A and B are shown apart, each in its own frame.
Chain A
Amino acid sequence: GAGVSQTPSNKVTEKGKYVELRCDPISGHTALYWYRQSLGQGPEFLIYFQGTGAADDSGLPNDRFFAVRPEGSVSTLKIQRTERGDSAVYLCASSLRGRGQAQETQYFGPGTRLLVL
């Protein structure tokens, strides 16, 4: 089937604005991850969903960041009052079952490049 898709591909916004980034995981994948990749760095974990619930949100940098996955499929990462330091590529990944299946491969989407002016 289709891979992980993310929209938009690129997003330019102004400081202080609100943005939403969308992730469509591979159909049937119950585990979903968000990562942030700053320029010249490797991806850093933000949040992990198992089904509809956020099982681990320890990577969210502050309370301006929030993510949902209401039906256990599509996920939206929401950033309030954006700051220039939020500029990065936001990557989404999914895997089939997640918890209890450490050997599973995570499949990544192409990311959303966010630029905050």
Chain B
Amino acid sequence: AQTVTQSQPEMSVQEAETVTLSCTYDTSESDYYLFWYKQPPSRQMILVIRQEAYKQQNATENRFSVNFQKAAKSFSLKISDSQLGDAAMYFCAYRSATTSGTYKYIFGTGTRLKVLA
């Protein structure tokens, strides 16, 4: 079974600085997707960035980028120029890409990001 581990329960970053959130996962599959979701106090999960396992190039989305190390099963999120609105819970998630799969997400336990003014 696949597992996702986020070892940082809480992180803080100064506004305009850069912060990296860690995520490791375990799987025996070769084809899968990895995601970072943001969950503000409103509870709504918002997709931040997605990485296809078969792509070597790291995904980027404006101020958000990932460092995907497939062999090490590591998938960290870097937030540049942090803004107050980035404060939220961040969840790393895994999804199988097998054609018979249900594509359910497997989530980590989350990292609470605080942005200091």
**Interface on A for B, CB 8 Å cutoff?**
31, 33, 35, 40-45, 48, 55-56, 59, 89, 91, 93, 95, 98-106, 108-111, 113
Contact = CB atoms under 8 A, between A and B. Distances in A.
Nearest to A104: B103
Interface string B9-53: 000000000000000000000000100010000111111001010
B107 A48 contact: no
A110 B42 contact: yes
B62 interface: no
A52 to B, nearest CB: 15
Contacts, number: 68
Given A43-B107, A106-B103, 10 more contacts: A33-B104, A35-B105, A41-B109, A42-B110, A55-B102, A95-B103, A102-B96, A103-B52, A111-B43, A113-B43
Nearest to A43: B107
The binding surface of chain A is classed by DSSP as loop
Interface string B66-102: 0000000000000000000000000101011111011
B59 interface: no
Contacts of A101: 103
A35 B46 CA distance: 15
Contacts of A33: 104-105
A98 B83 CA distance: 34
B60 to A, nearest CB: 17
25 contacts: A31-B103, A33-B104, A33-B105, A40-B109, A42-B4, A42-B91, A42-B107, A42-B108, A42-B109, A43-B45, A43-B91, A43-B105, A45-B106, A55-B102, A91-B45, A102-B33, A102-B95, A102-B97, A105-B47, A108-B37, A108-B44, A108-B46, A110-B42, A111-B44, A113-B43
